[in-house]
Amino acid sequence: MTNDHSTDAVDPGTAEKDPADWTTGDEPMTGPQRSYLETLLQQAGREAPADIDGLSKVEASRRIDELQDATGRGA
């Protein structure tokens, strides 16, 4: 009998889901998202967009991803 405890398996509870597939993606961005977005904007030397107050969770996530790439903080 063998126990296969492979580290290559992805835990479905921690798998990253595409923001387009989020069921709550159209809800307003969360407080932590806004805080991180503002931090990244500052680090990138960019002004907050005029529509920042109206961003959804999905829109905030996409902008965070873009800014992480621009600032070198991406995964």
pLDDT tens-digit profile of 5-17? 544 454 455 556 6
For residues 56 and 60, give the distance between their C-alpha atoms in angstroms, rounded to a whole number.
6
Could you tell me which residues come within 8 angstroms of residue 22 by beta carbon, excluding any fewer than 6 positions away?
57, 58
Could you tell me which residues come within 8 angstroms of residue 65 by beta carbon, excluding any fewer than 6 positions away?
74
Instruction: Give residue-wise pLDDT tens across range 31-48.
Output: 999 999 999 999 999 999
Instruction: Give residue-wise pLDDT tens across range 45-68.
Output: 999 989 999 999 999 999 999 999
